Amino acid sequence: MNYPLYIRSAPTENELKFHYMVHTSLDVVDEKISAMGKALVDQRELYLGLLYPTEDYKVYGYVTNSKVKFVMVVDSSNTALRDNEIRSMFRKLHNSYTDVMCNPFYNPGDRIQSRAFDSMVTSMMIQVC
Amino acid sequence: MDAPEAPLPPVIYTMENKPIVTCAGDQNLFTSIYPTLSQQLPREPMEWRRSYGRAPKMIHLESNFVQFKEELLPKDGNKALLTFPFLHIYWTECCDTEVYKATVKDDLTKWQNVLKAHSSVDWLIVVVENDAKKKNKTNILPRTSIVDKIRNDFCNKQSDRCVVLSDPLKDSSRTQESWNAFLTKLRTSLLMSFTKNLGKFEDDMRTLREKRTEPGWSFCDYFMVQEELAFVFEMLQQFEDALVQYDELDALFSQYVVNFGAGDGANWLTFFCQPVKSWNGLILRKPIDMEKRELIQRQEATLLDLRSYLFSRQCTLLLFLQRPWEVAQRALELLHGCVQELKLLEVSVPPGALDCWVFLSCLEVLQRIEGCCDRAQIDSNIAHTVGLWSYATEKLKSLGYLCGLVSEKGPDSEDLNRTVDLLAGLGAERPETANTAQSPYKKLKEALSSVEAFEKHYLDLSHAAIEMHTSIGRLRSAKFVGKDLAEFYMRKKSPQKAEVYLQGALKNYLAEGWALPITHTRKQLAECQKHLGQTENYLQTSSLLASDHHLTEDERKHFCREILSFASRQTDSPGQKIVLPLHCFAQLRDLHFTPSNAVVHVGGVLSVEITLCSQMPMPVQVEQVTINVHFSIDKNNYRKTAEWLTKHKTSNGTINFPTETSPLPAPQNNLPALELYEMFERSPSDNSLNTTGIICKNVHMLLRRQESSTSLETSSGVALEDGAHVLKCSGVTLEPGANRITFRTQAREPGTYTLRQLCASVGPVRFVLPHLYPPVQYDVYSQEPQLRVEPLADSLLAGIPQKVKFTVTTGHYTVKNGDSLQLSNAEAMLILCHAENRAVIYSNTRAPVTGGESSVLGMTESHRKHKDTQKAGQCMATTDHKVSIDCPWSIYSTVIALTFSVPFRTTHSLLSAGTRKYIQVCVQNLSELDFELSDGHLVDPDSNADLRLVPLNAKSPQTLYNVRAEILPPSGTEHCRTGSLCSLEVSITRLSDLLEVDKDEALTESDEYFSTKLMYEVVDNSSNWAVCGKSSGVISMPVAARATHRVHMEVMPLFAGYLPLPDVRLFKYLPHHSAHSSQLDADSWIESDGLSVDKHVDEQPDGGGGRCRGSAHLASGGEHRGLPMPRLQALPPGQVFNASVGTQVLVIPSKDDHVLEVSVT
């Protein structure tokens, strides 16, 4: 499934561009997942690394064991974000997503409207910018 | 790309350089040896042990042997490595002491002094021995003496610096040995020199790098130094090490740029910030681009120059290492990186210049890779190159837009000026590609030359990119490039070409539920459809956009007005109707009936109120809202009676509709929910559980292909139903949000009305909801009285009396006293009336009208029991009989047909054996009833005296009693346990009425009822059970079919396991004297309660109490009577059927007293 559960961009002016970018990047996510398919589940690295670079942005990917995908687009000029920072951001996202899933009132597959998740994303975005 | 012109194998450009070795001494001698030496030296690899913990490598050594000159020795401070002589060799074949003393020694000394002066310690003296030469000489000294002298004179404690080479030009084993030793020495010396000199060089280089924070430090200078090292590694074929040098330079430079961006600028970097004036792209066809290298050396290189040069070197080395795909990947990173760096350094770049540079570079890299890989390799590595193709496409597109090549009118003068400037920045084509027809340079120049040429090149690239993306399964990327192409076509006013790309992309976004791309693509599609004049599609897309919350209010209003203006334009010419789906225009939320049970009588008024949620951003005037109604008369009259309707219809009256597919139909909404069920599979023999699991009952729905199932944007092919029954509401203004619309109708024909379609008309536009789901119905009932006749059983059988039920639904008619139904029937059907039969009126208080039922026909109904399905499956012949009934409410007779089935099939046959004839008559019962055939005999109607009919039917032995025993665990427990009392229930059933065999002494008669005396006895021969208390008794059994006598006893299992039940035996009890019979009858210990078994049980709920009493009486009875001893007579075989023979009962061990024997060995 490749429908968006949650999508946020800051600033919001170029939201559409990012939506297109994230959607297109799913091609590479799919490619990486199917290449990874042979690896044993417990050895599998969830972080997919740089999906593809564009002139202005870097697109990173991460996939949970249940194939929920996280995609992050960051400004290329933001040199403070190295692989390790990106990894830890993904881990944070994953943890928060797990919390969302643990909510008995959340229907898996629904759009995420959790305020906790939202504020976590907001804080992460503020930290980065 | 230039493959057609140059079908040559890929050329690998190697450096011509080899490590330099100087030769001094006898030049003629060396010249004679050189061919063998240069051939033998690289033949065997040598292990090179490296400093700084680097892994050792096997290396094939080659050398460039040059004549020794002092100028070759590096002067102080000259860091050049490529021209550095790594080894100096002195050659001599002197074997004469005198000659040695006279000339050779002096020459050697001079040579040594020069070396010392330049502190060069890597040298070797080779003494070549020649047997032939020796023989010619007179004062021959032993061979060793000259070598010893040299060693003594020059090789101070380093005797291995002087090597002997014997007869080098001969073919003998001694020669071979000597060569081997010499070559090993030479290689070792060379490697030692490399290690030492490179190590020193690297140390110097590091020192230089550490000074990079000092003010005068220059990156370009350092670059040249480290590149020298790279060159040497490359010279030694150590490409990996060479690449590392460039990668380090790359990283160092990148770090400086990043630091500069962070405000920590280095002075030297400002030079790289000069405005970009040339953008001729990467050049990868030469191993070393000397032009650019010189620019760096002269510190005149721009950022692009430096990056281009650096990458060209990396590319060369990667190709040597056969890693072409890494070139592609690094190229993309480089191009992105350069664009970023120029931005970061705020370098002024003319518009379009970078696009040119990137475009040229992409193509150059791709052509370079294509030049050294075959087609198959390229095809299987598209994933690596497709990025460059897309990037080139993207860049060409923006150049096209920039230079006015995409507009309808073509470029204006400003555009042309810009194009000229851009082309100027390309400079002249490089000589390397000048002869290549498809060079990136030529392509770009051509593409920018005219609108047509641009279109050709852009389409070529786009199609190539789409094709490549598709071939490796990157469908989204392909769609994205396709959208760019669609935009291009729209600009070129070719909407027919754009449509397919937009539709493709939109379908993809819809399938994956990406709202913003959906909205955006739909907007583009709307424009496209408008240009194409696809009215219906355009209006549908417009309605979707007008209801799209991702658009601004103004945009939504625009699309809404588009629909309305179309509608108003078309009103004058009543022609085609445009049918659009309703859900994007308005959504049906709920529906409410008045009266709330949606049941109305003929002539009554029904109103339907619906809530329509308008999705439009502004009020819309709707001429008419209609609901199409389907009318059906239910065949089952009864279902439509007021009584049924009131009973079965929910009275809430409001039907809620699920909110229609939200503006973005995420795929999960389209999938049906999983229907999971528990599944148990039991073994057919003992009913134990074999498997259990969960099964999904709608797999076929879930697993079907998704692709074709959702075509949402094409006109949905909604058929407009034209029915006679329509609910209408005219002149409605739909405000944004919820609107309530009320329909009123007067009920006419009785029947069921199903609401099918909802349609809102705006001019010629019809917004249609094709199906209302959940289904909505209302019912109209007739108030006429109704009569129904039906059998009580499933069907009527011919030939036996049965009951038939009459049901009268009175409707508006009031039943008066004395009202009657008059039945007139065919002769073949008899109506059996009881003398006192009167219809009983049951009135249904809940119903607004009274219904009555009465049983008119009939007598007792036979015992009905299920038979084999096989029998039921056979068809019975039927006959219809009509009953005409005159009802008080009508002048017409009601004729009702009753269908009777003939239950028997009779066949007969005449069989012959000799002179005898046998007549066989078979009677087969086809019905589900049990019939008993008795007294069958054939009758000769003519009473012919000659004919004698002898029945052959043997009397079958008659079973009189059925004995059934059952052991039940103590109440409250599931199983019997050893040692605890269980109850034994014995039931003795008489199967027939009085027969001849019953007439004996035991039979007694009173008031026409016969009974006989039986004695039962419970015996357990296998000693599994202990019968507690009374184990036998005498009963008085009524002689009538189905008379049952039940006996209750207590038994105790002695063992665990599946135990067979104890035997129950039955005897005929013949009294000693008939006079005693009445006395015995009255005796209390004989349980003579006959049929009233339940009563008996009720009186003695406690089994224990009964047992005590029973045993006590048995003892006293025997004592009391003493004399008369009754006789027991076994019943003849066949008269008793033991129904429970062979059954077993599970007994589990009791918990507290089991002994477990365990033997341990």
Mean pLDDT, range B451-458, rounded to an integer: 94
Q: Can you read off the two tokens belonging to residue B159?
A: 């005797």
Q: What whole-number percentage of chain B has pLDDT above 70? A: 82
Supply the mean pLDDT for chain B. 79
Span A36-78, pLDDT tens digits: 766 655 566 789 989 988 888 999 999 988 889 999 999 888 8
Whether A27 has its CB under 8 Å from any CB of chain B: the answer is yes
- pLDDT at position B337 over 80: yes
pLDDT at position B631 is: 86
Q: Is residue A105 part of a domain?
A: yes
- pLDDT at position B791 over 90: no
Q: Which residue of B has its CA nearest to A51?
A: B387
pLDDT at position B1008 is: 76
Sequence letter at residue B129? E
- pLDDT at position B458 over 90: yes
Q: Which stretch of B50-59, B200-209, B327-336 has the lowest confidence by average pLDDT? A: B50-59
Whether B923 has its CB under 8 Å from any CB of chain A: the answer is no
Q: Is residue A111 part of a domain?
A: yes
Q: Which residue matches tokens 């008489």?
A: B990
* B340, B513, B666: residue with CB nearest A77: B340
Report which of B523, B443, B456 is spatially closest to residue B483, judged by C-alpha positions.
Answer: B523
Q: What whole-number percentage of chain B has pLDDT above 90? A: 23
Beta-carbon separation of A31 and B473 below 8 A: yes
Beta-carbon separation of B474 and A20 below 8 A: no
Beta-carbon separation of B667 and A3 below 8 A: yes
Span B1029-1060, pLDDT tens digits: 888 888 888 888 888 888 888 888 888 888 88
Whether B275 has its CB under 8 Å from any CB of chain A: the answer is no
Mean pLDDT, range B961-971, rounded to an integer: 88
Report which of B1009, B1071, B1080 is spatially closest to residue B1039, judged by C-alpha positions.
Answer: B1009
Q: Which residue matches tokens 């290690």?
A: B195
Whether the Cβ atoms of residue B590 and residue B772 lie closer than 8 Å to each other: no
Q: Can you read off the two tokens belonging to residue B379?
A: 């095809």
Cα A22 to Cα A4: distance, rounded to the nearest angstrom: 10
Whether A75 has its CB under 8 Å from any CB of chain B: the answer is no
**CA count, 13 A, side-chain hemisphere, A101:** 12
Beta-carbon separation of B513 and A27 below 8 A: no
Beta-carbon separation of B512 and A2 below 8 A: yes
- pLDDT at position A114 over 80: yes
Q: Could you tell me if the ipTM is greater than 0.90?
A: yes
pLDDT at position B1152 is: 59
Cα B46 to Cα B36: distance, rounded to the nearest angstrom: 18
Q: Is residue A1 part of a domain?
A: no
pLDDT at position B1034 is: 87
Q: Which stretch of A40-49, A91-100, B404-413, B724-733 has the lowest confidence by average pLDDT? A: A40-49
Q: Is residue A114 part of a domain?
A: yes
Q: Which residue of B has its CA nearest to A14?
A: B516
* A15, A24, A77: residue with CB nearest B477: A24
CATH number for position A51 = 3.30.450.70
Q: Which stretch of A31-35, B296-300, B598-602, B689-693 has the lowest confidence by average pLDDT? A: B598-602
User: What is the number of residues in chain A?
Assistant: 129
Domain that holds residue A21: 14-127
Whether A85 has its CB under 8 Å from any CB of chain B: the answer is no
Distance of CA B353 to the CA centre of its chain: 48
- pLDDT at position B832 over 70: yes
Beta-carbon separation of B668 and A20 below 8 A: no
Residues in B closer than 8 angstroms to A2, CB to CB, are 512
- pLDDT at position B291 over 60: yes
Q: Which residue of B has its CA nearest to A57?
A: B336
Residues in B closer than 8 angstroms to A79, CB to CB, are 258, 261-262
Span B709-744, pLDDT tens digits: 333 444 445 566 666 788 999 999 999 999 999 999
Whether A24 has its CB under 8 Å from any CB of chain B: the answer is yes
pLDDT at position B57 is: 82
Q: Which residue matches tokens 């599970």?
A: B1146
Whether B504 has its CB under 8 Å from any CB of chain A: the answer is no
Cα B20 to Cα B80: distance, rounded to the nearest angstrom: 12
Q: Which residue of A has its CA nearest to B332?
A: A53
Supply the angle between the helices B495-512 and B515-532 in degrees, to the nearest 10: 150
Q: Which stretch of B26-35, B666-675, B907-916 has the lowest confidence by average pLDDT? A: B666-675
pLDDT at position B538 is: 93
Number of domains observed in the structure of chain A: 1
User: Cα angle at B165 between B160 and B171, to 5 degrees?
Assistant: 150
Beta-carbon separation of B333 and A53 below 8 A: yes
Residues in B closer than 8 angstroms to A24, CB to CB, are 476-477, 480
- pLDDT at position A94 over 90: yes
Report which of B1031, B1062, B1024 is spatially closest to residue B1141, judged by C-alpha positions.
Answer: B1062
Strands B578-581 and B676-682 turn out to be unpaired
Span B1058-1113, pLDDT tens digits: 888 888 888 888 876 544 444 444 333 434 333 333 333 333 344 343 333 333 34
Residues in A closer than 8 angstroms to B514, CB to CB, are 3-4, 19, 23
- pLDDT at position B865 over 50: no
Indicate the pLDDT class of residue B76, thresholds 50, 70 and 90: low
pLDDT at position A38 is: 63
Cα B311 to Cα B330: distance, rounded to the nearest angstrom: 9
User: Cα angle at B763 between B757 and B765, to 5 degrees?
Assistant: 50
- pLDDT at position B48 over 70: yes
* A20, A31, A76: residue with CB nearest B517: A20
pLDDT at position B4 is: 40
- pLDDT at position A117 over 60: yes
Burial class (CB in 10 A: 0-12, 13-18, 19+), B617: buried
Whether the Cβ atoms of residue B161 and residue B123 lie closer than 8 Å to each other: yes
Most confident of A88-102, B405-419, B877-891, B1089-1103: A88-102
Indicate the pLDDT class of residue B506, thresholds 50, 70 and 90: very high
Mean pLDDT, range B409-415, rounded to an integer: 89
Beta-carbon separation of B480 and A1 below 8 A: no
Whether A16 has its CB under 8 Å from any CB of chain B: the answer is yes
Beta-carbon separation of A55 and B340 below 8 A: yes
Beta-carbon separation of B339 and A55 below 8 A: yes
Helix (H, G, I), strand (E, B) or coil at B1123: coil
Strands B1144-1148 and B1044-1053 turn out to be unpaired
Beta-carbon separation of A55 and B387 below 8 A: no
Cα B199 to Cα B545: distance, rounded to the nearest angstrom: 71
Strands B776-781 and B751-762 turn out to be antiparallel
Q: Is residue A9 part of a domain?
A: no
CA quadruple B657, B660, B666, B672: dihedral, nearest 10: 40
pLDDT at position B360 is: 94
Q: Which residue of A has its CA nearest to B262?
A: A79
- A97: closest CA of chain B, how far (Å): 19
Most confident of A115-124, B18-27, B1018-1027: A115-124
Q: Is residue A7 part of a domain?
A: no
Mean pLDDT, range B994-1008, rounded to an integer: 76
pLDDT at position B213 is: 83
Mean pLDDT, range B961-978, rounded to an integer: 87
Residues in A closer than 8 angstroms to B332, CB to CB, are 53
pLDDT at position B602 is: 80
pLDDT at position B103 is: 84
pLDDT at position B847 is: 34
Q: Is residue A4 part of a domain?
A: no
Greater confidence (B1084 vs B699) lies with B699
B residues 215-274 near A, CB within 8 Å? 258, 261-262
Q: Is residue A115 part of a domain?
A: yes
Mean pLDDT, range B634-652, rounded to an integer: 56
Cα B665 to Cα B687: distance, rounded to the nearest angstrom: 48
Q: Can you read off the two tokens belonging to residue B303?
A: 């950022």
- B548: closest CA of chain A, how far (Å): 15
- pLDDT at position B846 over 60: no
Element (H, E) at B29: helix B27-40
Which residues are bridge partners to B1032 per DSSP? B1017
